[in-house]
Structure formats: structure tokens, C-alpha cells
Amino acid sequence: MTRFALLSLTLALAACTRSPQDASPPAAATSSTPPPAATTPASAAIDTAVLGAHHWVLADAVDATGRRVDALFVRADKPVTVDFADGRIGVSNTCNRMGGTYTLDGAKLTVGDMASTMMACSDPRLMALDSAIGERLRGAQTAAVQAGATPTLTLTAANGDVLTFRGEPTAQTRFGGPGETVFLEIAAQPTPCNHPLIPDKQCLQVREVQFDDKGLRTGTPGEWQPLYQDIEGFEHVVGTRNVVRVKRHAIRNPPADAPATAYVLDMVVESDTTP
């Protein structure tokens, strides 16, 4: 290279002009071979099975300056949650449920445009949450998963925003299978039910209903009966009738006096308030 050629020429001229008493060998020149450039280790590829095995709950979000993005933390009791399944991403605990497609190439996670329901929310901060999280998830980001008892998912955008999620096992992970899809109609009013440990227990009153491939009710509903356990993820409001789609899971080795079946909310299909 030119810099090293000039250095060699300078040393040669200096040797020619030395007096005999100065003719000690010159100091060794620096090697003309530059040291190898430092390399940054490539981010580890993300396993889609790990993404799909957890609900990813937003735990922290900062911008490029390290400032917390407060617009993403509207409800402390219901943090923004992201799910990945079959090439699709879903976002919940926002004003509207949001979803779209995603691709994963090594550690590069790319989220396409997302569609959402069109429900209006009375809290303007909750309304703004939809666009705040949508803008930060959309596009290409670098993803990293830290394994552990509670895994973490970190998404780093090109503009320096960093979103950190904690992983919570899905029902399929916890119960060891996808479960059975069931539609339940939930009466507006709970019903008294006997419980050995809870006096004056009030149970949801439910019956199974069926829908065809077009989403229309079909067949005859089952008999009304009390449901002795809660539906995970569902909050009943007295006076509101609901039809919900749930996953019904068998519980392996349940404790004594505990139910052998778990119900996990998949989605609310119908909801109306009785006069």
C-alpha cells in the first residue's frame, strides 16, 4: 500500500545519510500487513417454535436516547401483548385487536401492514396506543431471544427504538396440546352453585353452541349449566350476554377437588347487554 511504500523509502534514505558511527540497524518497521478488522458476531437466528410457544408481554420500551416510551404503557394491569403463530402476528390489550403477517430470516423480523378491528375507545390514550405500537412493530427489526425460566424477546428498530417483551407460556405450552375448540354462550346473569370451599359461590351459566363454516349458528344449543371454574382471559360483566370461542384443555393430574378441565378464551364472538 502507498503509506507503507513511503515508509520504506524514508528508511532507505535515512540509512544512506548516516555516518559510520550512526550505522546501527534501524528499528524494525511495522509490518505492512494490517491486522484483521474486528468483526461483530452475527445475531443468533430465532426459533419460530419459541416465538409461538409464548405470549410476549411488553415489559420495557425506550427510544434511541434511552427515554421510556410512555405512550406504550397505558394500562398497567393489561400490558400490550404480542403473539406469533403460523406466519402471523397478533397484538392484544390495545384499543383494537391488531394482526398481520411476519417473516423471520435469521435474526431479522419483518412485520407487514397490520389490520385491526374498528372499535372506538373512550380513553384517548388507549385510542392512540394502536398507532403507537403499530408504527413500532411494522417493518424490519433485529430480534433477539434470551432463554431462561422467563425468556425475553428484544426488538431493535433501525431508528434505535428497543422493545423488550417477557415470555409467558401459552395454554398449548402449559397443557401440552392445542386443546379442543368450543363455543360457549354465557348468560348475562351468574347462577348460584355449590362449591365445597366457597360459600355462596356464583358460577357462570353457560351452554354450548355451534357455528357452521360461514359463521352462522347451527344445530340446537346444549342445556344451560353452571361452570364451576373461570374462563382464563375472560372477564364477565353482570348484565352482559356473551358468546365466546374457547380452547378446552384436559388438566393432567389435577389436585383433589380441582376441575379436570381448563377453559381458555380464544375470542369473543358476540356480546350484548340485556335491558
Q: Are 100 and 207 part of one and the same domain?
A: no
How far does CA 271 lie from the centroid of its chain?
27
Q: Retrieve residue 123's grid coordinates.
A: 380513553
> What pLDDT score does 36 carry?
43
> What pLDDT score does 259 carry?
87
Q: How far is CA 35 from CA 2, 30, 39, 41, 42, in A?
A: 17, 11, 12, 18, 20
Q: Are 151 and 179 part of one and the same domain?
A: no
What percent of the chain clears pLDDT 70, i.e. is strictly above it? 83
Q: Are 208 and 268 part of one and the same domain?
A: yes
Q: What is the DSSP letter of 159?
A: T
Out of 124, 147, 169, a domain closes at 169
Q: Are 53 and 158 part of one and the same domain?
A: yes
Establish if 60 belongs to a structural domain.
Answer: yes
pLDDT band at 130 (very low <50, low <70, confident <90, very high): very high
Q: Where are the alpha helices (DSSP H) in the chain?
A: 2-16, 48-52, 124-137, 171-175
Are the C-beta atoms of residues 244 and 183 closer than 8 Å to each other?
yes
Establish if 29 belongs to a structural domain.
Answer: no
pTM listed for this prediction: 0.74
Q: Retrieve residue 65's grid coordinates.
A: 436516547
Phi and psi, residue 98, nearest 5°: -125, 150
Predicted confidence (pLDDT) at residue 115 exceeds the cutoff of 50: yes
Q: Are 194 and 215 part of one and the same domain?
A: yes
Establish if 210 belongs to a structural domain.
Answer: yes
Domain span holding position 199: 174-273
For the stretch 7-60, pLDDT in tens is 333 333 333 333 333 334 444 444 444 444 333 334 567 888 899 999 999 999
Establish if 122 belongs to a structural domain.
Answer: yes
Total number of domains constituting the chain: 2
Out of 134, 169, 204, a domain closes at 169
> Which of helix, strand or coil describes residue 172?
helix
Establish if 3 belongs to a structural domain.
Answer: no
Q: Are 98 and 165 part of one and the same domain?
A: yes
Establish if 248 belongs to a structural domain.
Answer: yes
Phi and psi, residue 7, nearest 5°: -60, -45
Interval 66-81 mean pLDDT: 96
Show Cβ contacts of residue 207 under 8 Å, excluding neighbours closer than 6 positions: 184, 185, 221, 222, 223, 224, 225
Are the C-beta atoms of residues 207 and 223 closer than 8 Å to each other?
yes
> Which of helix, strand or coil describes residue 253?
coil
Q: Are 130 and 230 part of one and the same domain?
A: no
Q: Are 147 and 233 part of one and the same domain?
A: no
Establish if 41 belongs to a structural domain.
Answer: no
Pairing of strands 261-273, 231-232: parallel
CATH code for the domain in which residue 117 is found: 2.40.128.270
Establish if 17 belongs to a structural domain.
Answer: no
Q: Are 57 and 156 part of one and the same domain?
A: yes
CA 211 – CA 244 distance, rounded (Å): 12
Q: Which amino acid is at 64?
A: A
